Structure 1
Amino acid sequence: MNLSHVLRQSARRFGDEIGFVWGDKTWTWKEVDARVDALCHVLAAQGVTKGDRVLVQSPNCNQMFETMFACFRMGAVWVPTNFRQTPPEVAYLAQSSGAVAIICHKDFGAHYAACREEARQLRVALAIGEASWAEDLDDLVAEHMGQPFAAADVEHDDPCWFFYTSGTTGRPKAGVLTHGQMGFVITNHLCDLMPGTSQKDASIVVAPLSHGAGIHQLVNTARSVKTVLPQSPGFDGDEIWSLVEKWQASNLFTVPTIVNMLVDDKAVDRYDRSSLRYMIYAGAPMYREDQKRALRTLGPVLVQYYGLGEVTGNITVLPPMLHSLEDGENAKIGSCGFERTGMQVSIQDAAGQERAPGETGEIAVCGPAVFAGYYNNDEANQKSFRNGWFLTGDLGHLDDEGFLYITGRASDMYISGGSNVYPREIEEKILEHPAVDEVAILGVPDPKWGEVGLAICTLNAELDQETLLSWLEGKVSRYKLPKTVLFWPELPKSAYGKISKKIIKEKLDALALMEDAS
């Protein structure tokens, strides 16, 4: 099935109901579907055909949502960027994807220019809004309104989306998502993340549609759930909670950092949020103390899933009933859940042998949600697949019941005095200190131990290194204790709202160079 058919179904069944909301503007399902048809005609008239890649550089807006379905309907490949990326970063995506068309928001002229310079194969350009360098997409769409567009015939393995990794190591890689794979993902998300979802529901978007939130809104469209975009370009807790009340929103997808911001926002108790059934978070495990605070404030609505972009979020799930507020015997504290429906997880050693429950190894996964591989990158594919398993690069272990516990990224682990240290465990403990808001631990070179831990914290009250390390004594083994603690006003985040150890390392390297120079 061509993925765009889920939009057509909503237009047929609930055509006059609101399907998309952005600020004070609304579009019915029929209107969204008609605009997607018109956009298909616009692109086809400029020579875009099945299999062509279409790069989209834009913040969240109705046009961003529509470009996804237009690409799917044409059999083209949607190549969305994270709008916070720099012009050179986006130009690399344009070049490496082989995109022949670019749809670029009017505010990103420098990105457009960089793409035209770097990606010489680009031959089609459209602007979202008035711009001097390309025709306005909306003007062209208006010319083709009312003209139906027949969806392209596609096979199960035909690509529909190049999902770029965040590039925590090296340059971003394009994960190839296919029509058949994403059909499974839709079913799986509805089954495991938000069962009982229907056209009576609404979903608030609080993350870029270019990545996980885009997958989430595709899933919502398959159940005719209205998508509600906040008007504010940045985080505005008051607006988000007011939209939950106004539209009686039942679900939203985000990352732990944003969950914390929503819970801590003063507006959380100002609006009626009784309609909210699923606050779905992914991208990183949620620290236990943050979980407890969210559960005390919001009630049993948290849904955690673990899954990389390459597996489109479909590895494990921890549903609301397993988000326990109490630290009792049956609470799966620290777990990111059990295997998603139709998926299989294996903990493997370096040779690919499965490890026993409780033993740490690399998390490997197989099943219909695994992507088709990296585009034009044989080296990465050879490293990432082994004996039919996709290797996540994450470390963890399974318990006897099959619940997964993530220890950290393989690249985060460091060896101190011959012992493996997994920062995640120590970070969890440090966050139990009431003065600590956020923490990141890295391994740094040490002449005696090989590597030692360096902890960087943000605080909400006064605290010094000696006090924190004394408090940690007895809570973790001595060899796991950080040797040094730094206190920063804030920790750098990636474009997806996650604490970025890559950026932290770059800042530390820059500080070291400055000290050497002085």
Structure 2
Amino acid sequence: TGVPKAILTGEAHLVADAERIIEEMGIRADDIQLAAIPLSHSYGIGNLLMPLLLQGTSMVLRDAFVPKQLMLDARAFHARVFPGVPYMFGYFAANPPPEGWPACLQLVISAGAPLEAHVSQAFREQFGIKIHSFYGASEAGGIAYDAGDTATPAGSVGTPMTGVTIVVRPDEDAPPGSGRVFLKSTSVAFGYAAADNEDDCPFQEGGYLTGDFGHLDASGRLILTGRVSTAVNVAGRKVHPAEVERVLRSMDGIDDVCVLAAPDVRRGQQILACIVSRRQPTVLEVRRFCAAHLAPHKIPRAIVFLPSLPTTSRGKTDRTHLIALALKQLEEDVT
């Protein structure tokens, strides 16, 4: 997503964020958490390190996500809280532990990447446990949280956390009915250590302008609809990958999908759909399905089928690796 930036965050910001997380999520001092996410990232700092420092909440720390070991740890230490990323929950839904889900592990939180509805639904059907979506940013701490026990609409990340004010600002590049998410809270950082362009700085008016598009529904839930930086320019017409991904995920047999921009000699960029599917539909079937739901310029011109989507250590789709894999496969298909 670009060159890494150092964020100037003060002690008061970290404490305010942690207190908000502890209160909203109901993390107790006597809880034991499973630490399968990196402690060096803001998610791990806010949900694991700060509760430990502020109220002594213990954690079971491992070097990496090892599903079998995580289940053993949960039972051995009677862990109640598991902050994870969507990949982890997708894995467990597809590969249920032989002994079942540990009865003690009741508070399950997902952040770091979008939690797709089919993953949340499959996990709940398998284990009877709701995954609670959590939305935040390194620059601003926790923003929204889904504390309820009922299913939520696709793209929902819950309601604004206590003390967080969200405003959806108009943006001409946003998908229809959406805008750019702006927020204010006591956990918004001072800014970046070195800001190259002050005019384009997201720290504005005492708040933070995220790189996400979204809207607030009638129930006050924040629905994310795409990213600012991911729009694909197809012959001068912008296409938001999230819109194409939503359509493809509604197609029977599609397990996962990521839509990217790929080079195109005539159009500058083209829509590339990377699909994971057990049913293995044909390229023609995929295009016909898209044609029934999307404008012609939004239909993927390049489609590749992969056994899985590569992910980073944070559980996000590794787009750099994915585009390399996809382009290589397209070249092989041509030859």
Same fold (TM over 0.5): yes
The 3 A distance-change label for structure 1 pair 293 and 477 is: farther
TM-fit CA distance, 1:240: 0.9
The 3 A distance-change label for structure 1 pair 236 and 492 is: same
Residue matched to 1:225: 57
TM-score by length of 2: 0.87
Residue matched to 2:145: 317
Residue matched to 1:184: 16
Match of 2:317 among 485, 499, 515: 499
| Paired residue secondary structure (2:209) | strand
Deviations 1:189-220 (A, max 9, x none): 0122x22x323321001111111223211243
The 3 A distance-change label for structure 1 pair 513 and 333 is: closer
Residue matched to 1:456: 274
TM-fit CA distance, 1:425: 2.6
The 3 A distance-change label for structure 1 pair 390 and 319 is: same
The 3 A distance-change label for structure 1 pair 383 and 458 is: same
Residue 278, structure 1, aligned to residue 107, structure 2: yes
Residue 205, structure 1, aligned to residue 35, structure 2: yes
Residue 240, structure 1, aligned to residue 58, structure 2: no
Percent identity between matched residues is 23
Residue matched to 1:367: 185
Match of 1:259 among 65, 83, 89: 89
Match of 1:427 among 233, 241, 245: 245
Kept after mapping to 2: 8 A contact 1:317/1:337: yes
Distance (whole Å) between structure 2 residues aligned to residue 446 and residue 399 of structure 1: 37
The aligned runs of 1:439-478 (5 Å cut-off) are 439-446=257-264, 451-478=269-296
Residue matched to 1:343: 164
Kept after mapping to 1: 8 A contact 2:159/2:221: yes
Q: Which runs of 5+ in 1 are unaligned?
A: 1-167, 325-330
Residue 393, structure 1, aligned to residue 211, structure 2: yes
Output the amino acid matched with 1:335.
Answer: S
Deviations 1:60-115 (A, max 9, x none): xxxxxxxxxxxxxxxxxxxxxxxxxxxxxxxxxxxxxxxxxxxxxxxxxxxxxxxx
The 3 A distance-change label for structure 1 pair 430 and 508 is: closer
Distance (whole Å) between structure 1 residues aligned to residue 154 and residue 253 of structure 2: 22
Distance (whole Å) between structure 1 residues aligned to residue 280 and residue 60 of structure 2: 40
Output the amino acid matched with 2:136.
Answer: G
| Paired residue secondary structure (1:362) | strand
Residue 290, structure 1, aligned to residue 119, structure 2: yes
Kept after mapping to 2: 8 A contact 1:186/1:218: no
Deviations 1:253-287 (A, max 9, x none): 111111111222231x5145222221111112211
Match of 1:483 among 298, 301, 320: 301
Name which of structure 1's ranges 254-263 and 445-454 shifts more when overlaid on structure 2. 445-454
| Paired residue secondary structure (1:310) | coil
Q: Which runs of 5+ in 2 are unaligned?
A: none
| Paired residue secondary structure (2:104) | coil
| Paired residue secondary structure (1:235) | coil
Distance (whole Å) between structure 1 residues aligned to residue 61 and residue 92 of structure 2: 16
The 3 A distance-change label for structure 1 pair 273 and 512 is: closer
The 3 A distance-change label for structure 1 pair 240 and 434 is: farther
TM-fit CA distance, 1:456: 0.9
TM-fit CA distance, 1:188: 0.4
| Paired residue secondary structure (1:441) | strand
The 3 A distance-change label for structure 1 pair 508 and 472 is: closer
Kept after mapping to 1: 8 A contact 2:276/2:308: yes
Deviations 1:486-518 (A, max 9, x none): 1234323223121022433455677899999x9
The aligned runs of 1:152-167 (5 Å cut-off) are none
The 3 A distance-change label for structure 1 pair 400 and 461 is: closer
Distance (whole Å) between structure 2 residues aligned to residue 337 and residue 344 of structure 1: 13
> Which one scores higher on RCO, CA 8 angstroms, separation ≥ 6?
2
Output the amino acid matched with 1:442.
Answer: L
Distance (whole Å) between structure 1 residues aligned to residue 227 and residue 80 of structure 2: 32
Aligned residues: 332
TM-fit CA distance, 1:181: 0.8
| Paired residue secondary structure (1:400) | coil
TM-score by length of 1: 0.58
Over alpha carbons, which structure has the higher Rg? 1
